[in-house]
Amino acid sequence: MAQTRAAQKPQGHTPLGHGAVELPSVLVDDYNNEARERGHFIGDKANKGAFQAKLHEWRKVLRDYNDDPLGKNLAESVSKKKVDALLEGTDPAGVALAMAAIEDFSRDFADVIIKYMAFQPWTKTERIVVGGGFREGRAGEITIVRTKMLLHADGVNVDLVPITHHPDDAGLIGSVHLMPSWMLKGHNAILAVDIGGTNMRAGIVEFAREKNRIVDAAVRHSDIWRHVDDEPSRSAAIERLADMLNDLISKADKLKLAPLIGIACPGIINPDGAI
């Protein structure tokens, strides 16, 4: 989770650096907040695993007196599609199960935001944009709205909205806005990578420029690899990523690729690129 604000003026000669906070389009006030509570990161209360844990606990309650609408395997992770199917189904128990998990998770999500906003870089936050895979499903949409309701009920008047682009594209498109404008001069596309805990995405992002601003950025070609299923070594992961990028380069056709690769990666990135 990052807190940003619009740059005051175009940064025409932004120096190169990994994890930079002064970017062409925005100034980064804070990111990857590592504050802990009872030995755990505060932000971990609002991740995918936390939602699965809520769903798991309510499934155990429901099983005491009713058939589990998600089946017999309690240990298996439940996909977003299955949760959405519960919400859209006709079984009251299934709808109640999904809503119970959403309610508990929304309360924890609101609590995380309130605690983040107690930190100085976050105190003037006006809007929080929610991305990630959870944003694309019906359950995620309901969670965002419910969390916003809870925040406003507590007097925290911050806007909470889903990210504009599809989650598969957002992390790739974001790379364009992190590049010094002089590096993109004469080009209209870049290679971008988004490394997540479940998937690794790579794509070609095409863009147009107006003066020093990036406009109309969109993913033209992309590939996704669910690496969590393969549990690769580091060297195998790098080799697979290189293959994905080489394949994308072959599809660039007449696009003018900039001589760089934008990479989104979890963790705090030091100026020398160390994570």
121-139 core/surface letters (b: 16 or more CB in 10 A; e: else): ebeebeebbbbbebbbbbb
The confidence band for 67, taking pLDDT boundaries of 50, 70 and 90, is very high
- For a pLDDT cut of 90, what percent of the chain falls above it? 57
pLDDT digits (tens, 9 = 90+) for 77-110: 899 999 999 999 999 999 999 999 999 999 999 9
What is the per-residue pLDDT for 10? 46
pLDDT for 241? 96
- The predicted structure's pLDDT at residue 6: 59
Q: What's the pLDDT score for residue 232?
A: 92
Residue 245: predicted pLDDT: 97
Q: What's the CA gap between 171 and 206, in Å, rounded? A: 14
Enumerate domains of the chain plus CATH numbers: 33-163 (3.30.420), 168-264 (3.30.420)
| Residue range 111-133, pLDDT digits in tens | 999 999 999 999 989 999 998 77
Q: Which residues pair with 264 in a beta bridge?
A: 194
**pLDDT mean over 66-72:** 94
Give the model confidence (pLDDT) of 169-201 as tens digits: 988 998 888 777 788 889 999 999 999 888 899
Average the pLDDT over 198-220 and give the result.
Answer: 87
Q: pLDDT tens across 38-53, in order?
A: 888 899 999 889 999 9
Given pLDDT bands bounded at 50, 70 and 90, which one contains residue 4? low
The three-state secondary structure class of 253 is: coil
Strands (E), the chain: 2-6, 26-31, 36-37, 40-41, 127-130, 159-162, 189-195, 200-210, 213-225, 257-264
Question: Which pLDDT value is given to residue 11?
Answer: 46
pLDDT at 213: 74
Q: Which of 10-24, 157-171, 174-188 has the highest mean pLDDT?
A: 157-171
- Give me the pLDDT at residue 50, please: 94
Q: What percent of the chain has pLDDT over 70?
A: 92
DSSP assignment of 117-166 equals TTSGGGTT--EEEE-SGGGGSHHHHHHHHHHHHHHHHTT---EEEE-SS-
Q: How buried is 160 (Cβ within 10 angstroms: 0-12 exposed, 13-18 middle, 19+ buried)?
A: buried
C-alpha angle with apex 33: 32 to 36, nearest 5 degrees? Answer: 130
